[in-house]
Amino acid sequence: MTTPVFSFKPTQIGNRGLYFAAAILLSWSGMLVFLLNYALDWRNPLVYIFALIQTHLYTGVFITAHDAIHGVVAPNNKRLNYGIGFLCATLFAFNNFNRLSRKHHLHHKHSATGDDPDYHDGNPGFLAWYYSFLKEYISIIQIVLMAVTYNILKIWFPMENLIVFWMAPAVLSTFQLFYFGTYLPHRGEHHNPPHNARSQKLNNVTAFLSCYFFGYHAEHHAWPYLPWWKLPEARASNK
């Protein structure tokens, strides 16, 4: 399988990566403040809609950390790029940005092989692979920090709101990231080494809603320096 030429350099991003990062972070934090003070009524369908929106924004926070790993949030300012990545990883359940970065670069170097920390050898079902994936990335320190933060936040906010709009969206986001960004792209056999990844059909609406275009995963592996918002253009050139 040949990879077409896609002409784009990270230096062409300018400040656009910062604008997208700011939009996601402000939307996530603004929604969270609003929802933690929201009158929760289980009969109100907006409760479930808001929870799904916050899940999607949580995913965006992680995707921003991911783009910082590849140096494309602020490609012209490495310190700022690192700071944003560190902040986003921390906001996403106290993930360690340096650990995420190390493992993610291994994933790109050894995609869908025994040396890939994201890959579960033996092509298992979704839940077995998801469990293996979580073990790679969740630490005791994260769980303790989340528990401490929860107990502090519940001094000011209702417990139900914290669970529905802070904790549950974080968990659901890991499903979203894993299913669309790891499981579907890397399961089964592949015919495009060394990337060993496949992409969903070209549909930018569903691709954005599913996982910020990371269903265009073969393109991400072919051009890892592309920010998430440039992947549709790469997918269109590779269809």
pLDDT of 212:
94
Assigned token pair, 110: 């050894």
Task: Give the mean model confidence (pLDDT) for residues 11-22.
Answer: 84
> What is the spatial distance between Cα 39 and Cα 24, in angstroms, rounded to a whole number?
24
- Asked whether residue 3 carries a pLDDT value surpassing 60, the answer given is no
Name the residue type at position 236: A
- Asked whether residue 2 carries a pLDDT value surpassing 60, the answer given is no
Task: Say what the pTM is.
Answer: 0.89
Mean pLDDT over each residue of the chain, to the nearest integer: 86
pLDDT of 1:
43
CB atoms under 10 Å from CB of 121, counted, come to 11
Assigned token pair, 30: 């603004």
Q: Is 188 helix (H, G, I), strand (E, B) or coil?
A: coil
DSSP 97-163: HHHHHHHHHHHHHTTTSTT-TT--TT---HHHHHHHHHHHH--HHHHHHHHHHHHHHTTTS-HHHHI
Residue with tokens 């073969």: 218
Confidence of residue 34 (pLDDT cuts 50, 70, 90): very high
Cβ contacts of 179 within 8 Å, gap of 6 or more: 126, 130
Backbone dihedral region for residue 71 (phi beyond 0: left; psi -120 to 50: alpha; all else: beta): left
Q: Is 212 helix (H, G, I), strand (E, B) or coil?
A: coil
Reduced DSSP (H G I as helix, E B as strand, rest coil) percent helix, strand, coil of the chain, to 5: 65, 0, 35
Task: Give whole-number Cα distances, 66 to 42, 48, 151, in Å.
Answer: 34, 27, 29
Cβ contacts of 129 within 8 Å, gap of 6 or more: 120, 178, 182, 183, 187
Any idea where the domains of the chain sit in the sequence? 10-237
99 closest CA partner among 91, 110, 90, 109:
90
Q: List pLDDT tens digits, range 134-151.
A: 888 888 888 899 999 999
Q: Are 40 and 158 in contact (CB under 8 A)?
A: yes
Which range among 83-87, 97-101, 126-130, 203-207 shows the weakest confidence by mean pLDDT? 126-130
